[in-house]
Amino acid sequence: MALHSGRPTLGSSPMASDPYRVNPDDPRAPPQELWEQLTPAERAQVIDSLPSEFPVSQTHPPEGDPHYEAKSRTREVLGSFFSRIGRKVYLACELPVYYPGESMCSPDVIAVVDVESRSRMRWMVSAEGKGLDLALEVIVAGERRKDLERNVERFARLGIREYFVFDRGRLRLSGWRLEEGRRAYRPILPQHGFYRSEVLGLELQVDDERLRFYVGGAALPEAQEMISRLEHMMERVEASHTDLEHQLTEEVRLRAEETQRREDAERRLAEALAELEQLRGKRD
């Protein structure tokens, strides 16, 4: 098998140790039927040969801090939430994804449920045994047609169950979902301003120029919010500790004063008794 113009063809390979070649200008995983014919060693060789970075032909100009912050914040918030509740969800940003025989894609954020959240250099569907469950793209100043039109058609054809687009420049959110047995998306209609993700079990909404996630009507906290909460809790604990110290100090002071008064009273009583005995002695 050899790769020509980015597509494999059946036939003899010029090298027995190289049964499948990857075109660096258009890297693709082998079609599923060819993948199933490869030995474990050959499969490992194919996986290692798939780039974990973008080919020059597929690179896009950077979109600045707003784009980076939106996708990294999404991964951070979701990762923290699923870790806390003990749910296995693999999350990644701009990870190269290889579907059988398809050009590589790399959504800004991906989610795959019920898989180990280990470190990966790429997501190869044939090797992982599962495709993406959710993809999310962030638009700041890039081409909107790619995310809002071409990806809608392509991701549906690939079988990605849910697809969301956060238009950071226009502060808009769009979502699509595949119904069982279909290969075309249907729009997710917002309910009271919230878009429901069945994959994540969460609601999404644009709030204050950010994409926020909600569970039970409560927003999932972001890292800085959690830090602020912990700092506030620590301040309250420290204030409570200080108040307790003051209370204990005051209690010790009051007990000391009470002990001193009692000792003074006992001393005066002893002196009075001694004086009384002296008077009795003189009278006798």
Torsion, Cα 131 63 141 104, to 10 degrees, reads -30
Do 228 and 147 lie in a common domain? no
Q: Please report the sign of the dihedral spanned by the C-alpha atoms of residue 119, residue 122, residue 126, residue 132.
A: positive
Rg (alpha carbons) of the chain, rounded to whole number: 35
Do 240 and 181 lie in a common domain? no
For the segment 23-28, the average pLDDT, to the nearest whole number, is 90
Whether the predicted pLDDT of 174 surpasses 80: yes
Do 147 and 198 lie in a common domain? yes
pLDDT of amino acid 2: 38
Do 90 and 202 lie in a common domain? yes
Among 170, 197, 220, where does a domain finish? 220
Do 72 and 208 lie in a common domain? yes
For the segment 246-258, the average pLDDT, to the nearest whole number, is 80
Please state, rounded to an integer, the average pLDDT across all residues of the chain. 85
- Amino acid at the residue 255: R
Whether the predicted pLDDT of 113 surpasses 90: yes
Do 78 and 205 lie in a common domain? yes
Do 106 and 80 lie in a common domain? yes
CA distance 97 to 160: 12
Q: List, as one string, the DSSP characters of 198-236.
A: TTTTEEEEEETTEEEEEETTEEPPPHHHHHHHHHHHHHH
Do 144 and 249 lie in a common domain? no
- Sequence-separated (6 or more) residues with CB below 8 Å from residue 150: none
3-class DSSP assignment, residue 43: helix
Question: CA dist 132 to 3, 50, 168, 169, Å?
Answer: 25, 18, 23, 26
CA distance 220 to 14: 55
For the segment 160-171, the average pLDDT, to the nearest whole number, is 95
pTM of the shown model: 0.74
Whether the predicted pLDDT of 15 surpasses 60: no
pLDDT of amino acid 4: 38
Do 263 and 129 lie in a common domain? no
Full residue range of the structural domain in which residue 233 is found: 222-284
